[in-house]
Copies of this chain bind each other. A is one copy, B any other.
Amino acid sequence: MRILYHLPLSPYSRKVRLALGEKRLPFELKMERVWERRPDYLAHNPAGTVPMLVEETGLAIPDSWVICEYLEEAYPDTPLLGRTLAERVEVRRLVVWFDEKFGNEVTRNLLNEKVMKRISGRGNPDGGALRAGYANIRFHLSYIDWLAETRQWMAGNMLSLADFAAASHLSCLDFIDDIAWDSAPAAKDWYARIKSRPCFRSLLQDRVSGMTPPAHYADLDF
């Protein structure tokens, strides 16, 4: 069986789970406590990050970007990167935007401080980081709201990896109730559409010990 090493609240792992689910590729999830730096894991992925996918053939594929490009080449049915060259530029631009810019400016400041630090035993959230995260999320949420207002899906007319990248970050932050959905009605509407797809179900069932997500987290008509 195909194995995906992951952490429940890793947006990069979630993006890959959504891509695998949408492409109907069965896989087994294994939790990898990256902070333990397991030598066997590092041998396959020296960067020591999750996600990493291991195919039944034994091929190990680290990094969500590398995995998603691989999936698109190995399993081209249900394309997730767009069809024309221009569409593919826009999909990938937004994937980088969410994974890098949103990731550094928002997710790192809020999720890593509040959750990753605690579960890996690295102490309390830093106040400056939290303040930066809350300031940045407003700008980012209004950009997503604008995209959702002007397009059917994040990158245009088709559901793509850009939607999965955005929804992965947002779903992790929604778990800790850090999204002011009412300030971004078009984004909320788009997120409700993404959330009701079958591939999203397993994400919404993740539980992290000692943490309770808000009631609307797993509610499909929130």
Q: What B residues does A92 contact at CB under 8 A?
A: 63, 65-66, 69-70
- The 0/1 profile, CB within 8 Å of B marked 1, for residues 86-110 of chain A is 1011001100110011000000000
Majority SS of interface residues in chain A?
helix
Q: For the complex formed, measure the closest distance between the CB of A71 and the CB atoms of chain B, giving whole angstroms.
A: 10
Partner of A96, one of B66, B86, B93: B66
Interface size on A, residues (CB 8 A): 23
User: Is A47 a contact partner of B89 (Cβ separation < 8 A)?
Assistant: no
Q: What B residues does A211 contact at CB under 8 A?
A: none
Chain B residue at minimal CB-CB distance from A81: B69
Q: What B residues does A69 contact at CB under 8 A?
A: 69, 88, 92
The A24-74 residues at the B interface (CB cut-off 8 A) are 46-47, 59, 61-63, 65-66, 69-70, 73-74
Q: What B residues does A93 contact at CB under 8 A?
A: 61-63, 66
* A215: Cβ under 8 A from any B Cβ: no
* A85: Cβ under 8 A from any B Cβ: yes
**New A-B contacts (13) at CB < 8 Å, excluding given A73-B85, A73-B88:** A46-B97, A46-B143, A47-B101, A59-B89, A61-B93, A63-B92, A63-B96, A65-B65, A65-B92, A65-B96, A66-B96, A70-B85, A74-B85
